[in-house]
């Protein structure tokens, strides 16, 4: 079978799964409508606030977008970098951006008091409209059965009686649930097969919990995922500086002692890393030698730019560390072509790093933020 035939087979299979899922969903919605029309069930007065007072209860249907944000829906339909910039600009104008309560419940919500695991900028958010409020103890076993599709993580949050959103937890009571699947990471965007799997498994969970998922259209989700992945590709920057021995190769034992004095930590997987002091990483180091080698003549310091916040000055710290090691070990800072790095070149790179940080900030995915750490994983 040729590569073309294999590709056509995969594409055809994904399309077939999508069609079958759509048809099943239509049948499911029709069944639910009939069940609700002829249902004689009564509300649980312990789970329905205000029932005893005789006040009428107004149901607010969760939705992914407000009417005034229709322009956003049109913008993200095209898989381009401009779409990410447009969404970021809109978020910059809205105080509640990034708050699922604003986009899922369709009303203005107070600023989040804590970081939530569901983020409407980098996740596909899917409201689960509950027939009645549900306890976290009952919901958690079902929700915890769905943690990933492919290599994309899935998280759930719930809206409590005060209208606040929080990760679903024991002891909580929730009027609405919201699922979020990450749209992209370094390796790939969310694809048709992964989304189809998510839809099928989420429907099963919804059935178990007495809920109805408000599913966005697959083409819209896939185009948004591709746009976000394109942003990741364009900003997946790693910078390195090398320290070349000016004389004989260094003994590995001597290197390890010098690196420990410099502040490096050895990780179980064999990497040497420099901590930022708060549990994060500034940059890493490689000896460019095999596990059985006794000497090394070249060290490489590597900065994962989008994963380090500008306030940490990861590039400046890495260059300063390189200079210190070069002076201590008798080496010189060089580029990948083994040419000495001058002060002018280092300053020029620093300017490029600053411009890079500004681009990420403008897209509302600041380097080193939770969003950036999730996307660039």
pLDDT digits (tens, 9 = 90+) for 336-360: 999 999 999 999 999 999 999 999 9
Strand order in 298-304's β-sheet? Answer: 264-266, 272-275, 281-286, 298-304, 238-245, 331-334
Instruction: Please state the domain extents for the chain.
Output: 45-50+57-233, 237-375
Is this prediction's pTM over 0.85? no
Tokens of residue 224, six digits:
């948004």
| 186-242 pLDDT tens trace | 999 999 999 999 999 999 999 999 999 999 999 999 999 999 999 999 999 999 999
237-375 fold: Cell Division Protein Zipa; Chain: A, (3.30.1400)
Alpha-carbon distances, residue 55 vs 28, 51, 174 (angstroms): 32, 7, 20
| 300-327 pLDDT tens trace | 999 999 999 999 999 999 999 999 999 9
CA distance 195 to 220: 11
Alpha-carbon distances, residue 276 vs 264, 280, 312, 317 (angstroms): 11, 5, 7, 10
CA distance 139 to 123: 21
Cβ-based neighbours of 100, under 8 Å, separated by 6 or more:
116, 118, 119, 120, 125, 157, 165, 178, 180
Helix pair angle (314-329, 343-362), 10° resolution: 150
Tokens of residue 356, six digits:
């890079």
């Amino acid at each position: 079978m040729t590569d073309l035939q294999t590709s056509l087979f995969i594409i055809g299979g994904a399309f077939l799964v999508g069609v079958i899922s759509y048809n099943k969903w239509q049948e499911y919605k029709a069944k639910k409508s009939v069940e609700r029309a002829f249902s004689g069930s009564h509300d649980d007065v312990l789970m329905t606030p205000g029932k005893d007072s005789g006040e009428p209860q107004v149901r607010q249907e969760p939705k992914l977008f407000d009417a005034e944000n229709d322009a956003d829906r049109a913008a993200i339909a095209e898989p381009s970098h401009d779409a990410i910039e447009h969404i970021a600009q809109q978020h910059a104008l809205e105080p509640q951006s990034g708050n699922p309560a604003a986009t899922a419940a369709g009303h203005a919500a107070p600023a989040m008091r804590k970081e939530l695991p569901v983020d409407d900028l980098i996740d596909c958010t899917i409201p689960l409209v509950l027939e009645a409020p549900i306890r976290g103890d009952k919901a958690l076993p079902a929700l915890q059965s769905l943690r990933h599709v492919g290599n994309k993580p899935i998280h759930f949050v719930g809206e409590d009686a005060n209208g606040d959103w929080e990760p679903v937890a024991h002891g909580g009571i929730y009027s609405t649930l919201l699922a979020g699947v990450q749209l992209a990471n370094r390796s790939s965007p969310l694809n048709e097969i992964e989304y189809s799997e998510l839809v099928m498994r989420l429907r099963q969970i919804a059935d178990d919990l007495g809920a109805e998922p408000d599913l966005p259209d697959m083409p819209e989700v896939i185009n948004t995922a591709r746009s976000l992945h394109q942003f990741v590709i364009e900003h997946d920057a790693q910078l390195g500086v090398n320290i070349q021995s000016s004389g004989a190769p260094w003994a590995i034992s001597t290197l390890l002692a010098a690196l420990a004095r410099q502040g490096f930590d050895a990780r179980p997987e064999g990497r040497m890393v420099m901590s930022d002091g708060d549990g994060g990483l500034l940059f890493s180091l490689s000896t460019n030698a095999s596990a059985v080698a006794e000497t090394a003549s070249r060290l490489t310091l590597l900065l994962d730019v989008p994963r380090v916040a500008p306030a940490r000055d990861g590039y400046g710290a890495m260059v300063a560390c390189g200079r210190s090691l070069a002076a201590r070990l008798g080496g010189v800072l060089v580029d990948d072509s083994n040419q000495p790095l001058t002060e002018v070149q280092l300053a020029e790179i620093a300017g490029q790093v600053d411009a890079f940080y500004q681009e990420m900030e403008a897209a509302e995915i600041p380097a080193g933020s939770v969003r950036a750490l999730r996307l660039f994983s």
